C-alpha cells in the first residue's frame, strides 16, 4: 500500500488545478503588463483569480496581493507592520512560541533591528490563551502575529477572539493561516483579521505561489522592489499559471470543505484512538481543537527518524518534528513549546491525512506504527532503561 500522510508538508496538485494552469502556459502566455490581447487576456484571468480567492475568505479583491508562497507573505506582513510601527515609535510585537520559522526568523531579524518581541506560551494543549495575549499588549505594540493552525500539531488558535482584542486595542493582527486556508472556513471580516498569509501548495495548488491579504487601510511595505505589479507592492512578472491554479484549487477546496472536514475528522479520530493504544505514547496538542487531518504523537523510547524510515519501507510517507528542521539534531520547537522534554520530543510522528484518505489506509497505518514502535523498542537502550526502572517513564 502507498499512503501519502504528509499533507501538512505539501499536497498533491488536484487535476482541476493542473488543468487550470495549462492554458496560461501554452496559449495565454502573454505578460499581464503587455497591452496586446494575449497579455490583456492574462491580465483579466489574473484579476478573476484575485476575485475568486478574495471571495473564499470574505475579502475585497484589492486586499489580495500575490506572493511566491506562505514564507514571503509572512515576511511581507511582518515587515509592513514593523515599518508602520517604527514610524509611530512602536517597537513591540506579540507572537507565540510555536509559530512557523517564516514568522519566528523574521521576528529574529526585527529584534536585531531594535524591536522587542514577546512570545506567548502555548501551554500543554498547544493553544494561546486570549487573556494572556491581551495582558501582553503594550502602548508600543505594533503587531500581534499568531498562526491560525499549527503546522506540526494542528492545534487551532482562537483567531476571532484574538482579532477582537487587537481591534479593541487598535493593534494590527496578522495570522499565518497557511495550514487553515482551504481546509477550514475563514472570514477575514468576522474574524477581525488585518493581515493573513496563505500558500497554494497546502491546498492542492502548485508550490511557489501564495497570497497575502491586507485589510484596506493597512499599508504594505515592499519586500521586492521593481516594476509596478500588484499595485506597486510586489514587483515581478506575475506567476500567472500558478495563480490560476491556486484560484482553481481554492475554489475546489472551498466547495468540498464542510464534507471533507467532517470525513477527515472521523478518520483522524480513528487514527488517534488506534495509536493511543500503544503503551507509553501521547497525542501532542488538543484532541478536539485541531486540524481535521492532523495527528501528532510521541512514543517514548524511540527515535522519530528510525520510525519514519521503517514507515517508508511500508509505503507510508509521514514526518517527524517538522520537515524544515529534520536534518538538525534539535527537537521540534513546537513540541518543546508544549512542554515535551527532549527525549520524548525526539520520538515524535506527524501524520497529516489528505482528503482522499480511507478507513482501510488509517487501519494500515495503525498496524504499521504499532509493529514498528514495538520492533524499535526491542533493541533501544533507552527503552531497556525505562523498562528496568533505571530511568522513569514520562509518558
Q: d(Cα 160, Cα 47) in Å, to the nearest integer? A: 28
> Nearer Cβ to ligand PLP, position 28 or 110?
110
Q: d(Cα 95, Cα 118) in Å, to the nearest integer? A: 6
Query: Quick one: 288 exposed, middle or buried, by C-beta within 10 A (0-12, 13-18, 19+)?
Result: exposed
Q: Is 324 a catalytic residue?
A: yes
Instruction: Kindly state the cell numbers that stand for 91.
Output: 517597537
> Nearer Cβ to ligand PLP, position 104 or 366?
104
User: In the complex, what is the shortest distance from the CB of residue 282 to ligand PLP, in angstroms, rounded to a whole number?
Assistant: 23
Residue pair 163/190 in contact by the 8 Å Cβ criterion? no
Buried b (16+ CB within 10 A) or exposed e, 235-247: eeebbbbbbbbbb
User: In the complex, what is the shortest distance from the CB of residue 308 to ligand PLP, in angstroms, rounded to a whole number?
Assistant: 19
> Nearer Cβ to ligand PLP, position 70 or 285?
70
Q: d(Cα 95, Cα 189) in Å, to the nearest integer? A: 21
Q: d(Cα 244, Cα 249) in Å, to the nearest integer? A: 9
Q: d(Cα 161, Cα 165) in Å, to the nearest integer? A: 6
> Nearer Cβ to ligand PLP, position 80 or 151?
151
> Nearer Cβ to ligand PLP, position 91 or 261?
261
> Nearer Cβ to ligand PLP, position 284 or 380?
284
Q: d(Cα 120, Cα 171) in Å, to the nearest integer? A: 16
User: In the complex, what is the shortest distance from the CB of residue 178 to ligand PLP, in angstroms, rounded to a whole number?
Assistant: 4
User: In the complex, what is the shortest distance from the CB of residue 376 to ligand PLP, in angstroms, rounded to a whole number?
Assistant: 28
User: In the complex, what is the shortest distance from the CB of residue 34 to ligand PLP, in angstroms, rounded to a whole number?
Assistant: 28
Query: Quick one: 269 exposed, middle or buried, by C-beta within 10 A (0-12, 13-18, 19+)?
Result: middle
User: In the complex, what is the shortest distance from the CB of residue 197 to ligand PLP, in angstroms, rounded to a whole number?
Assistant: 7
Report the alpha-carbon angle 59-8-315, nearest 5.
Answer: 150
**Interface positions with ligand PLP (CB under 6 A):** 69-71, 74, 100, 102, 147, 151, 176, 178-179, 199, 201-202, 210
Annotated active-site positions, please?
A: 324
Amino acid at each position: 500500500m502507498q499512503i501519502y500522510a504528509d499533507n501538512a508538508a505539501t499536497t498533491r496538485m488536484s487535476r482541476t488545478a493542473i488543468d487550470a494552469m495549462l492554458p496560461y502556459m501554452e496559449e495565454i502566455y502573454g505578460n499581464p503588463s503587455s497591452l496586446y490581447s494575449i497579455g490583456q487576456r492574462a491580465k483579466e484571468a489574473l484579476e478573476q483569480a484575485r476575485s475568486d480567492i478574495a471571495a473564499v475568505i470574505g475579502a475585497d479583491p484589492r486586499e489580495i496581493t500575490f506572493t511566491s508562497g506562505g514564507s514571503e507573505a509572512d515576511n511581507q506582513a511582518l515587515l509592513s507592520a514593523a515599518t508602520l510601527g517604527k514610524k509611530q515609535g512602536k517597537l513591540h510585537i506579540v507572537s507565540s512560541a510555536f509559530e512557523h520559522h517564516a514568522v519566528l526568523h523574521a521576528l529574529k531579524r526585527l529584534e536585531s533591528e531594535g524591536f522587542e518581541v514577546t512570545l506567548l506560551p502555548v501551554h500543554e494543549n498547544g493553544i494561546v490563551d486570549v487573556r494572556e495575549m491581551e495582558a501582553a499588549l503594550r502602548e508600543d505594540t505594533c503587531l500581534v502575529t499568531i498562526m491560525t493552525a499549527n503546522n506540526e500539531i494542528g492545534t487551532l488558535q482562537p483567531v476571532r477572539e484574538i482579532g477582537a482584542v487587537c481591534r479593541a486595542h487598535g493593534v494590527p493582527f496578522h495570522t499565518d493561516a497557511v495550514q487553515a486556508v482551504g481546509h477550514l472556513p475563514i472570514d477575514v471580516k468576522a474574524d477581525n483579521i488585518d493581515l493573513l498569509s496563505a500558500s497554494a501548495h497546502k491546498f492542492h495548488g502548485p508550490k511557489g505561489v501564495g497570497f497575502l491579504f491586507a485589510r484596506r487601510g493597512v499599508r504594505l511595505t515592499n519586500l521586492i522592489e521593481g516594476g509596478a505589479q500588484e499595485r506597486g507592492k510586489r514587483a515581478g512578472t506575475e506567476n500567472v499559471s500558478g495563480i490560476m491554479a491556486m484560484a482553481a484549487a481554492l475554489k475546489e477546496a472551498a466547495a468540498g470543505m464542510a464534507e471533507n472536514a467532517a470525513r477527515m475528522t472521523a478518520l483522524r479520530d480513528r487514527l488517534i484512538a488506534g495509536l493511543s493504544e500503544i503503551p507509553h505514547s501521547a497525542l501532542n496538542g488538543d484532541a478536539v481543537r485541531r486540524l481535521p487531518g492532523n495527528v501528532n504523537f510521541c512514543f517514548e523510547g524511540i527515535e522519530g527518524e528510525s520510525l519514519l524510515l521503517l514507515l517508508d519501507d511500508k509505503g507510508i510517507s509521514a514526518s517527524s518534528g517538522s520537515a524544515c528542521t529534520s536534518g538538525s539534531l534539535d527537537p521540534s520547537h513546537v513540541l518543546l513549546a508544549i512542554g515535551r522534554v527532549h527525549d520524548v520530543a525526539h520520538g515524535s510522528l506527524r501524520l497529516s491525512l489528505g482528503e482522499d484518505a480511507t478507513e482501510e489506509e488509517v487501519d494500515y497505518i495503525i498496524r504499521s506504527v504499532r509493529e514498528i514502535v514495538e520492533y524499535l523498542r526491542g533493541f533501544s537502550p533507552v527503552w531497556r532503561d525505562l523498562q528496568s526502572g533505571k530511568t522513569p517513564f514520562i509518558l
